[in-house]
């Protein structure tokens, strides 16, 4: 029924004679056009399977061939000797944290650029936002998976090509092949709080409901990364509408440990506003997308791996998550 109403609304916009005959339908359509962000969700008839039909501009969500997230098959990783470590500048910056109703978004201040270079990147990038995806239990939450194993949560740092574009929105709208970058860090539950993630978790009680905001005075994004230079990389897309492709993903080969209290603070967040909280914000992850013959490269040279350094690495040219602890990635 909702789809029929939407189709009727589109015909009213195309044929002016019908607009005045049904002003109610016109108003309905205008409301939809003005608030697309409020219409998509992670479940039901507005969930990922329908993103591509909710808005014609989101057609890549259903028709794209290089979509994210993906499962990283250990046995299919291709080692590239040309992949060097990437460099993320250590900069203390401020941020505005927002409950978008879909996820937790940190909009980094433009006054202090967090620059990213090297690795698989041919240009310089500026990290402009951080998004957090999490589950309602520790068996799920991350968008990417390793050997079909998921993690309780995933931090995604998104940036734009600062050599070619002035900001993230311009780079996204340009839809160029190297316009955007995504850094993915898996979160694992440990015994102690992570000190830099505390800058985020300590403010979550202020953004329990949609559209609530909180200020983070100081955060060093580089300290949200585990101590490793190993990563996997592939060409993908944004994981939310409009699912734009041309995103260079870099998935870090080590999980960040946060405490049970820190993950619990994420699970208390809600999708709706304070008057209509709706459902929990948990389980805000897009289903895995087909690889479609894409190649996932890595800088991990298994031929010269050190078993003490990386206990989950195997000499038969692949790595895996720990069989005893499914949410462990080293």
Within 13 Å and on the Cβ side, how many CA atoms surround 8? 15
Residue 232 lies in a domain: yes
Residue 51 lies in a domain: no
pLDDT value at residue 39 = 87
pLDDT value at residue 35 = 63
What's the chain's Rg over C-alpha atoms?
21
13 pLDDT exceeds 80? Answer: no
The percentage of residues in the chain with a pLDDT greater than 90, rounded to a whole number, is 77
pLDDT value at residue 182 = 98
**CA–CA dist 330, 322 (Å, integer):** 8
CB atoms within 10 A of CB 47: 14
- The count of structural domains within the chain is 1
**CA–CA dist 43, 41 (Å, integer):** 6
Enclosing domain of residue 193: 68-319
Question: Residue with structure tokens 């041919």?
Answer: 122
At 159, is the pLDDT very low, low, confident or very high (cuts 50, 70, 90)? very high
Q: What are phi and psi of 188, to 5 degrees?
A: -125, 145
At 306, is the pLDDT very low, low, confident or very high (cuts 50, 70, 90)? low
Residue 7 lies in a domain: no
238 pLDDT exceeds 60? Answer: yes
Q: What is the mean pLDDT of the chain?
A: 85
98 pLDDT exceeds 50? Answer: yes
Question: Residue with structure tokens 């999980």?
Answer: 255
Mean pLDDT along residues 221-242: 97
pLDDT value at residue 302 = 81
Residue 264 lies in a domain: yes
Contact 224, 256 (CB under 8 A): yes
pLDDT value at residue 36 = 65
More confident residue, 221 or 27: 221
Structural tokens at position 42:
């992670």
At 305, is the pLDDT very low, low, confident or very high (cuts 50, 70, 90)? low
pLDDT value at residue 313 = 36
The percentage of residues in the chain with a pLDDT greater than 70, rounded to a whole number, is 81
Across the strands, what pairs with 250? 183, 233
Of 22-26, 46-50, 55-59, 279-283, the poorest mean pLDDT is in: 22-26
214 pLDDT exceeds 60? Answer: yes
Structural tokens at position 177:
């092949």
Of 12-26, 64-78, 131-145, 298-312, the poorest mean pLDDT is in: 12-26
Residue 131 lies in a domain: yes
Residue 243: which CATH number? Answer: 3.10.200.10
**CA–CA dist 101, 241 (Å, integer):** 14
Residue 237 lies in a domain: yes
**CA–CA dist 123, 163 (Å, integer):** 6
- Is residue 242 reached through a cis peptide bond, with omega within 30 degrees of 0 on the bond before it? yes
307 pLDDT exceeds 60? Answer: no
Residue 21 lies in a domain: no
329 pLDDT exceeds 70? Answer: no
pLDDT value at residue 8 = 34
3-state secondary structure the chain: CHHHHHHHHHHHHHCHHHHHHHHHHHHHHHHHHHCHHHCCCCCHHHCHHHHHHHCHHHCHHHHCCCCCCCEECHHHCEECCCCCCEEECCCEEEEEEEECCCCEEEEECCCCCEEEEECCCCCCEEEEEEEEEECCCCCCCCCCEECCECCCEEEEEEEEECCCCCCHHHHHHHCCCCCEEEEEEEEEECCCCCCCCHHHHCCHHHCCCCCCEEEEEEEEHHHHCCCCCCEEEEEEECCCCCCCEEEEEEEECCCEEECHHHHHHHHCCECCCCCCCCCECCCCCCCCCCCCCCCCEECCCHHHCCCCCCCCEECCCEECCCCCCCCCCC
Sign, CA dihedral 207-284-69-262, equals positive
Each residue's pLDDT tens digit, 110-157? 988 999 999 999 999 999 999 999 999 999 999 999 999 999 999 999
Residue 16 lies in a domain: no
31 pLDDT exceeds 60? Answer: no
pTM for the model stands at 0.84
Mean pLDDT along residues 262-278: 97
Q: Give me the helix-helix angle, 23-34 and 2-14, nearest 10°.
A: 100
């Amino acid at each position: 029924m909702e789809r029929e109403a939407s189709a009727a609304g589109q015909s009213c916009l195309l044929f002016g004679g019908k607009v005045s005959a049904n002003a109610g339908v016109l108003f309905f359509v205008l409301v939809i056009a003005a608030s697309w962000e409020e219409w998509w969700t992670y479940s039901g008839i507005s969930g990922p399977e329908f993103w591509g039909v909710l808005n014609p501009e989101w057609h890549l969500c259903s028709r794209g061939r290089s979509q994210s997230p993906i499962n990283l098959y250990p046995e299919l990783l291709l080692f590239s000797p040309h992949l060097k470590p990437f460099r993320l500048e250590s900069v203390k910056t401020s941020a505005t944290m927002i409950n978008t109703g879909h996820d937790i978004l940190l909009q980094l201040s433009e006054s202090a650029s967090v620059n990213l270079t090297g690795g698989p990147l041919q240009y310089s990038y500026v990290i402009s936002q951080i998004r957090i995806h999490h589950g309602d239990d520790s068996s799920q939450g991350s968008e990417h998976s390793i050997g079909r194993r998921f993690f309780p949560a995933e931090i995604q740092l998104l940036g734009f090509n600062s050599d070619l574009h002035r900001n993230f929105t311009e780079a996204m709208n340009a839809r160029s092949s190297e316009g955007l970058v995504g850094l993915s860090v898996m979160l694992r539950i440990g015994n102690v709080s992570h000190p830099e993630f505390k800058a985020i978790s300590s403010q979550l009680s202020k953004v329990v409901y949609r559209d609530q905001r909180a200020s983070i005075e100081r955060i060093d994004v580089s300290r949200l990364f585990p101590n490793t230079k190993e990563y996997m990389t592939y060409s993908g897309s944004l994981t939310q509408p409009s699912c734009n492709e041309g995103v260079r993903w870099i998935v870090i080969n080590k999980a960040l440990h946060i405490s049970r209290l820190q993950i619990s603070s994420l699970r208390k967040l809600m999708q709706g506003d304070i008057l209509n909280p709706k459902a929990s914000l948990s389980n805000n992850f897009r289903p895995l997308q087909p690889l479609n013959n894409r190649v996932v490269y890595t800088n991990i040279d298994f031929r010269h791996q050190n078993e003490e350094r990386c206990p989950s690495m195997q000499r038969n040219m692949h790595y895996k998550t720990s069989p005893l602890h499914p949410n462990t990635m080293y």
